[in-house]
Amino acid sequence: MSKLTGKTAYVTGAGRGIGRAIALKLAREGAAVVVNDLDKEPVGETIDAIEAAGGRATAAIGSVTDDGFADRFIQTGIDTFGGVDIIVNNAGYTWDSMIQDMGDDQFDAMLDVHLKAPFRILRAASDFIRSTAKAEAEAGTEVFRKVVNISSIAATGGNVGQANYASAKAGVIGLTRAMAKEWGRYKVNVNCVALGLIETRLTEAVDEKKTITVDGNDIAVGIPKGMAAMVQMIIPLGRAGTPEEAADGVYLLCAPESNYISGQTLIVGGGLTF
């Protein structure tokens, strides 16, 4: 039996990249997965991959920043699979500018997606978690649940052009530590993974400028090839990580072996910490 058999996992931003790798990893370990992303097609592709491997998954399409999303996301998993066991707050993107060029909307957008959305999701899950944990305690059973919030080494070390992103991701670490203390009584391990350079469409080495559209804004993605090469040179392990390696770090904090680990930030960065 896989270590997460019988668990229900919720993964935001799971249609592509790191989120998709996390969803697939948790499914391979036995969890039923609630798959979220902005668009129907990538969500469907992730679900198809999970089901093709014999796993179970369901969709919760939409932006994590939308009013009402958090409640709908959590209720989808409860209605479909009956539980709330693992929550991975992964959805997000970067929107970089030097501070003199950064508008309030650009700063707020990073806070909304990286910090406020996880807060809302955890709040939406709180009633189920508290009531279920109390019933388990009265029955004399100890059942651990897991929250893994995704941060960045930009939060722990800062990064040029990312006052908004670094601030939001630092807030994620604060949220993690607060919730580890608040939910410890309910046997919830709340931890954080701070990612370094991971190969995704947001960080790929590019010759020409590329953009994606998020909430009507054109967001530059990719890293100029010269800069990408320089960053990889200072990574002690000599290369960027893969989405699967990022997912492995998340899984460490979802597995039963992490039952006495809470309030911690695990840097998955190949030795690069800034």
Active-site amino acid positions: 165
Quick one: which of 125, 222, 230 has its CA closest to 183?
125
CB atoms within 10 A of CB 205: 16
- Give the phi and the psi of residue 149 in degrees, each rounded to 5: -95, 135
Going through the chain in order, the beta strands assigned E by DSSP cover 8-11, 32-37, 57-61, 86-89, 145-152, 188-195, 205-206, 210-214, 217-221, 223-224, 265-268
Contacts of 146 (CB under 8 A, 6+ apart): 85, 86, 87, 188, 189, 190, 191, 253, 254, 258
**240 DSSP assignment:** P
Q: Any residues with CB less than 8 A from the CB of 69 and at least 6 apart, and which?
A: 62, 63, 117, 120
